[in-house]
Amino acid sequence: MNSIQANSPRVVIIGAGFGGLSAAKQLAQAPFDVTIVDRHNYHLFQPLLYQVATAGLSPGDIASPIRGILRRQKNNRVVLAKVSGIDTLRREVVAEGRRIPYDYLVVAGISGSRIEDVLPAVPTAPALAGSAGDSGSVFEALQHNVLTWQEGARHV
C-alpha cells in the first residue's frame, strides 16, 4: 500500500477535488505521510456532468477512483469519511467519529459544503488575524477577505 516512515510528518488533505489531488501529487516524492479525506471514493469532473445526463458520455468518462488516480504514489492513504470538524488544539481532523492527527493541514474540499459547517469555531489562523473583526473565526476571516477582494475587483 504505502512506504510511510513512522516518524514522517503527517499531512492531511481534506477533499479530493482538483486542489486536494494536486496537493497530494505534489507531495508524491516528499518525505510525508499523506492522508486524503473525502466523503466520496471518486474524483468527479463536474463541468462535463451535463454530458452524462444527456447520454453524451458515460459516468466512467468523468469520474475516477481516488485510489486509482494516486496508485503510483507510495506515501498516501485515502480515508472515506465526511469531515465534521477540525480540532486545532489537538491538531486532528474529526471525520465520522475518527480523529486523524496532522502536522500540516490542507483544506481543499469545501466547495460543495458550507465552510462554517466544517470550521464553525476554529480560532483564526495567524495569517488571517485582524481580518475577522471581534469574532476570531476562520470562516469569518475568510469571508471578510473574499468579500474585500471581490469589492476591490469591482473597482478596477
pLDDT one-digit tens code per residue, 23-79: 999 999 999 999 999 988 888 777 888 788 888 888 888 888 889 889 999 999 999
Q: Do both 18 and 79 map to the same domain?
A: yes
CB 8 within 8 A of CB 82: no
Q: Do both 40 and 105 map to the same domain?
A: yes
Q: Do both 93 and 147 map to the same domain?
A: no
Q: What is the pLDDT of residue 127?
A: 46
Q: What angle do CA 126, 127, 130 make, to 5 degrees?
A: 75
Q: Is residue 101 one of the residues assigned to a domain?
A: yes
Task: Name 12's Cβ contacts closer than 8 Å, sequence gap at least 6.
Answer: 35, 37, 93, 100, 101, 102, 104, 105, 106
Q: Do both 92 and 148 map to the same domain?
A: no
Structural domain that includes position 103: 10-113
Q: Is residue 132 one of the residues assigned to a domain?
A: yes
Please identify which residue in the block is written with the cell numbers 473597482: 155
For the chain, give the percent of residues with pLDDT over 90. Answer: 27
Please identify which residue in the block is written with the cell numbers 474585500: 148
Count: domains in the chain = 2
Q: What is the pLDDT of residue 5?
A: 59
Q: What are phi and psi of 49, to 5 degrees?
A: -60, -35
